[in-house]
Structure 1
Amino acid sequence: MDTALAPDIIRRRRRRTLAAAAAALALACAAAWGINRAAGPSVSLSDIAVAEIRRGSIANTVSAAGVVVPEHEELVPSPIQSRVAKVHAKLGQQVAAGELLLELDDRNVRLALDGIREQIAQQDNRILGLTLDMDQKRKQYASAIELLELDLQSTRAKRERYATLRAVGAVSGEDMLTAELNVQRTEVQLRQQKELIEDNRRSTASGVEGARLQKSILQKQLDQQRILLAQTQVRAPFAGMLTSLAAEEGAAVAVGQLVAKVSDLGNYRVEATLSDFHTRLLSPGQAVRVEQGKQVLAGRVHTILPEIQNGTVKLLVALEQPSHALLRNKLRVDVNIVTEQKTNVLVADSGPAFNGKGRQAVFVLRGGTAHKAMLDIGASDGKAVEIAGGAQAGERVIISDVSRYKELDSIRIQQ
């Protein structure tokens, strides 16, 4: 026959059962937590870059690719189609202003000079011939006038004598008319001779003026050929370094072909290239930051070239320190053009986590977990970005590339 258990025993057994169940539940929870810690998404703090949001100033910039070029350089083209006769300088050497660099074959120029001189001499001879011919004709006409004046005196005397005789009836009317006509005829011939002298003078003056005009044209051509002859002696336009030279003697050169280039390697500027999409944001005088490695040089937009090629626009940047030791000819640099300046705004260091302007998802650290938050990103200067909304000063954000976690709402951060 079974005996009923004492109430104390039943209570002790019930407490042991509850204790065992609680221990099992705690063990299950601990195991689940451990599994979650082991298998859930996490990242080590040492593997990510974190930036603290702070208040500060930021400049909105447009990035461009730049190359350092001499502030002053001159190209020397060939003035004629010729060949290199003799080279006097070496590429890369320092040259003085006016120093002879090379000589071009000048035989064709000298032949052209001789031909023009001969044509000028022909015009001088033409002027002399016209002048002599005019003088000769003037003498002939003057002699004819003297004879006609004598004839006129004779006919007038005869007319006066006939007039006296006519009064007493000793000369017929026909003889009187003949005497009168002879006077008029002589006067006409005299007037014609005087007009011939003036016509000859005008004709000769016109011929001489034409010859002198042609001579003036030839003289200008002669001056041009003399300039070309001087330019066949290629000289340095100013003191600097010879950075380009047609150094092969006997090589043919075309008109306008570059034969030498002299650069001032003591002062530089930057030639920047960027997409024409940003053209509307650019204006002369804008501040510019030129970066090469960790060095930053200040400058200003000097000139925006009007021509757009292959979707890009070029601009010239004047540097505040054009002779800085960092600068080298053809050195490639990063150019940041400041289009807007902001102060007392929330900023954070820039990084791959930010993708331009606008609202975007960024992980914000809170405790040991990074939570996805939507931040409004504003201006950027390449070093920092403006946090226009979605976070507060003092909060920390992940700025490194965490795109592989973009589908997650949170990430555990392992210390």
Structure 2
Amino acid sequence: MTPQFRHLALPLTLVLLLAACTPGGGEEAAQGDGAAPQRTTATRNDLDAAPAKTTALAVRTVRARTGTVTVQRTASATIRADRDSNVAAQASGTVERLLADEGERVRAGQVVVQLDDTQARQALENARLQAQQSQISLDQARTNTGQATASLGSAVQAAEASLSKARQDAASAENLYGLGGISQADLNAARSALAQAESGLAQARNTLAQNGRGGGSSLALLESQLASARAGVRQAEENLSRTAVGAPFAGIVVSLAVEVGEFASQGSPVFRLVDEGSVKATFNVTPADAAALTPGTRLNLGYAGVNYVATVQDASGVAGTDRLVPVTARVQGGGNLPVGGTAQVRYRATLGGGVLVPTGAIQVDGGENAVYVANGTSARRVPVSVVAESGGQVAVRGLDAGAGVIYPVPPSLQDGASIRVGAAASAAGSGGQSP
């Protein structure tokens, strides 16, 4: 090939390649300008005949379950105790020993504070000696009086015998004088002897009586002295016992007001004792909550960072002017709580029951509450009535337990919308109650 033809062949080759790369280039070249409108019309008809595409919303569901909605309440409670005592010293003295520590449980009568009892013991010993001496004096007086009474009694008996003989002699003298057997002088002598015998008996009896009266008075005085000495012993024993300050009832020694070596005055408190079984908390709740706080219901009571268990004893009171009902609960192990102090009571109140769904699943449309449930591949709107709501949970009526409630709810979701359901979860958790 000559050089001039070689230069003409290269542009022609490029033109052919470009024509081959053009879509439908071969056919369009064959058909000419009139074929292009027929191809375009056919393509549009094919597109119009294809089915319209639809978009299904991807949703998640939660399983509705029957349960109750509860809420935790907090109330201010006042600490009280049926038996709370600031035990005072009944005698004055220096504290010698502390026989119990703060927080220790003691039994009734157990000594907690011992005062110095040296003087009280000495006073008791002196009182006992005094009583012993009085007893000895009384015993001696009784012995002496008994001996004197016996001697004077013998004298009376002798005087009575002398009188009897004098009467016989006087009677005999009267007979003999009538017969002329004795003289007037002898008769007078017999009569005088009788009068002396009568006087002697009267004197002996008077002496015996006087001895009895004197001895009785002496004995009565000595008996009175002995009784007084014995009373002194009892008083000394009582004074000694007062140096030991004991627990008037079983309980916990909450605090000690004295230390060893300090002087405690009579009537001053030395320790505080609380019967832990009598510690109570009183607080007020609404009538609805009071109805649920039946006797035996356990509550949580907090004070100064420490939690105690309280058990409801009574919630049957009548609401006061503040429309609140008083509740009394016994506190377990509350002996260290300050009587009259304020604590916080926490309890759970039931707001209502029904079918539980998340709060965010409730949709309000035209004043009506509703939820959307998955009905196969479509969403169905179900009107519901709200019973109670708390902690992200709502108890409703009008919805079947076990229904798959759509949650969260897509903004574009409508009744009958096509959906694609992902994994389901429980609406009420393991317990069916709000947190």
* Structure number with larger C-alpha Rg: 2
TM-score, normalised relative to structure 1: 0.48
